[in-house]
Amino acid sequence: MIFVNCLYIMKQFVQVKLPLIYQIVAYAKYYKAFVENKKLSLRVAGMSNEGLKDYNASLYKIRQEKALDWGNLKTYTEKMQWAKLFDKDPRKTLCSDKYKVRDWVSERVGSEYLVPLLAVWDSYDDINIDILPNQFVLKTNHGSGDAVIIRDKKAITLAKKIELRRKIKFSLETDYSCRYCEMHYKDISPKIIAEEFIDSGSHDLVDYKFLCFDGVPYYCWVDMDRFTNHTRNVYDLEWNLQTWNQRSYGNYKGVINKPKNFNMMIEIVKELSQGFSHVRVDLYNVDGKIYFGEMTFTNGSGFEEITPLSADLMLGNLWKLRGVDF
């Protein structure tokens, strides 16, 4: 753990103090991963259902360090593996598309909860920064972790340009359905979207992620400082800090107060999660102003460890997969 922490500190130092070197190295890593993903996409496309099950189970064993028993799926992370391959609800594709889901949100809770859309492009070469305001956010509609925040376009450095190309261009051309067998991403038509920058002050935008089962939110986890020193707290809806967590981010050291209009956030999440056996609905809240983030049906792809195991089992008990009895 000490060694891992030291590596993280070194990475943060290089990223802040030597951004150009950091981005050049990161670009090389991204390109290598991009090429490997292209080859993987061809392999996965030719797999039968049994082949997909075997491949997904091998990934699960590597990440969770335990075998997957398809006939006895009890935990949340285990059930996630079945849902990825066999829950073919087309609404999952629609709601995972960060562009098309905007209509879904508008129809159900109102467009006032959407982050204002600035532009949409189909190709990286089509991006026209000149038409955008000084501050904005670029990301793809189907990727993960590819958002690029521009706080001052008049001062875009070479390092930032490399980051932009690294994240957006590679993400746009990546098939995310094959990497972790998240098959509902297969039919999303990739796009680049530019959204208004939401200024939350000196810190990163706080991310409120609600775990919902059959239209009922049970827990809200709060991600702090996602782009600097990522930590995570999990709360129930009475804002009691939980003893379990997902992935080894660790808890936030300070106090996280219940956000203003929290009850309204709950009502929004209830409306958006209706009709799904499970979905994670992400919202932002800036001094009481609520914004929709995204809907995620394959949280961590079920590969991120939930500790302790009793919490993984507890969440698994909340998830009633339709038409399946394990």
Which residue type does 22 have? Y
Which residue type does 82 have? W
pLDDT for 5: 53
Tokens of 17: 């103090």
Of residues 61 and 199, more confidence is placed in: 61
Tens digits of residue pLDDT in 20-58? 888 888 878 878 888 888 888 888 888 999 999 999 999
3-state SS class at 107: helix
6 phi and psi, to 5 degrees? -65, -40
Query: What is the number of other CB atoms lying within 10 angstroms of the CB of residue 309?
Result: 13
Ranges 57-61, 95-99, 225-229: which has the least confidence: 225-229
Of residues 6 and 291, more confidence is placed in: 291
CA 24 to chain centre: 25
pLDDT for 4: 46
**CA dihedral of residues 101, 107, 111, 117 (deg, nearest 10):** 30
pLDDT band, very low/low/confident/very high, at 222 (cuts 50, 70, 90): very high
Tens digits of residue pLDDT in 61-71? 999 999 999 99
Q: If you search the block for the tokens 């943060």, which residue do you land on? A: 12
**8 Å CB contact between 196 and 136:** yes
b/e code 212-250 from CB counts within 10 Å (16+ = b)? bbeeebebbbbbbebeeebbbbbbebeeeeeebbbeebe
3-state SS class at 294: strand
Of residues 250 and 290, more confidence is placed in: 290
Predicted model pTM: 0.89
Calculate mean pLDDT across residues 299-315.
96
Q: Which residues contact 167 (CB under 8 A, 6 or more apart)?
A: 30, 143, 145, 146, 147, 148
pLDDT band, very low/low/confident/very high, at 317 (cuts 50, 70, 90): very high
Kindly list the domain boundaries of the chain, sorted by start residue.
1-46+114-199
pLDDT band, very low/low/confident/very high, at 19 (cuts 50, 70, 90): confident
3-state SS class at 218: strand
Taking the C-alpha atoms of residue 129 and residue 124, their distance in angstroms, rounded to an integer, is: 11
Query: What is the number of other CB atoms lying within 10 angstroms of the CB of residue 8?
Result: 12
